Amino acid sequence: MKIIMLGAPGAGKGTQAKMIAEKCGIPHISTGDIFRANIKNGTELGAKAKGYMDQGLLVPDELVCDLVVDRIQQADCEKGYILDGFPRTIPQAKALEEALNAIGQKLDFALDIEVSDEHIINRMSGRRACVGCGATYHVIFNPTKVEGVCDICGDTLILRDDDKPETVEKRLEVYHSQTKPLIDFYAAENILAEIDGTQSMEKVFEDIMKILGV
Ligand code: ADP
Ligand code: AMP
């Protein structure tokens, strides 16, 4: 099963993608996680991406597309994958389509998690990310057992720089102008499914399972 996750920053794509990946036994590929790992490891790609990310802007398409196209051709993607945070622009969607056509594959589902901008601002200010393993939590909706400490690896939780309110506003603006057009793009391909992302995490997951037929 080949799935892409659409939705505003903070809509719950990562949260749901991890749950789907576990349930369906397919890899969760988050371009945001890949960039953050590169920044942490001090790579050239990380250095290039950081400036854009800190300002709430998208990393240029040419830095993202090849990376994803290579990743989805690795052995663990044979049974499928979930792309989380890619594509984010029409040129990225077209690059993905072209690459899939070349290897005789097609996407099965584009899951759009719908959450209004007002909800997003609250979600982002409460999101906490682990500096060690990248796991995400929410101070109210998905708290850790011990405040400020990751349940999975025990490392420290932080508020991501790009989750600060001024950057979130910029990211929402970028989402509306550059990423939202993908909804019509995938509706035209007949693979779009829309989910009410303001429901509890469990209910959102249940709705997704029905759509996937799992
Ligand atoms: P995205 O990957 O789309 O940027 P996340 O999955 O990281 O978003 O979710 C953003 C924040 O909202 C996180 O702190 C997460 O724990 C929380 N969250 C995710 N889904 C829900 C939900 N259905 N209800 C309340 N909070 C949620
Ligand atoms: P995310 O973790 O998905 O919210 O992504 C964090 C940041 O990484 C985004 O705000 C962008 O700056 C960058 N990023 C992640 N995925 C992409 C992509 N597909 N295209 C461009 N920039 C991206």
Q: Whose CA is nearest to atom 26 of ligand 1?
A: 141
**What's the mean pLDDT in 84-110?**
96
With bands split at pLDDT 50, 70 and 90, how would you rate the model's confidence at 167? very high
Residue 10 has what pLDDT?
A: 95
Residue 14 has what pLDDT?
A: 96
Looking at every residue in the chain, the average pLDDT score rounds to 96
The secondary structure element, H or E, covering residue 196 is strand 192-196
Is the CB of 111 inside a 6 Å radius of any atom of ligand 2? no
Q: Percent of the chain having pLDDT more than 70?
A: 100
pLDDT tens-digit profile of 113-131?
999 998 998 889 999 999 9
Cβ atoms of 1 and 24 closer than 8 Å: yes
pTM (2 decimals)?
Answer: 0.96
pLDDT tens-digit profile of 30-68?
999 999 999 999 999 999 999 999 999 999 999 999 999
Tell me the one-letter amino acid at 124.
M
pLDDT at 24 over 90: yes
Is 36 noted as a catalytic residue in this protein?
A: no
Q: Which atom of ligand 2 is nearest to the CA of 52?
A: 12
Cβ atoms of 36 and 140 closer than 8 Å: no
Query: Residue 190 contacts by C-beta under 8 Å, 6 or more apart in sequence?
Result: none
Candidate of 3, 4, 13, 15 to mutate for ligand 1, largest count of ligand atoms within 8 Å of Cβ: 15
DSSP per residue, 51-101: HHHHTTPPPPHHHHHHHHHHHTTSGGGTT-EEEES---SHHHHHHHHHHHH
- Lowest pLDDT segment from 4-13, 88-97, 132-141: 132-141
Burial (CB count <10 Å: 0-12, 13-18, 19+), residue 83? buried
Cβ atoms of 103 and 73 closer than 8 Å: yes
pLDDT tens-digit profile of 130-165?
999 989 999 999 999 999 999 999 999 999 989 998
C-alpha span between 198 and 122 (Å, rounded): 12
Residue 122 has what pLDDT?
A: 85
**What's the mean pLDDT in 181-185?**
98
Cβ atoms of 142 and 150 closer than 8 Å: no
Burial (CB count <10 Å: 0-12, 13-18, 19+), residue 182? buried
φ, ψ of residue 125 to 5 degrees: the values are -70, -20
**What's the mean pLDDT in 178-194?**
98
φ, ψ of residue 78 to 5 degrees: the values are -55, -40
Q: Do the strands 127-130 and 136-138 form a parallel or antiparallel pair, or are they unpaired?
A: antiparallel
Ligand positioned closest to the Cα atom of 83: 2
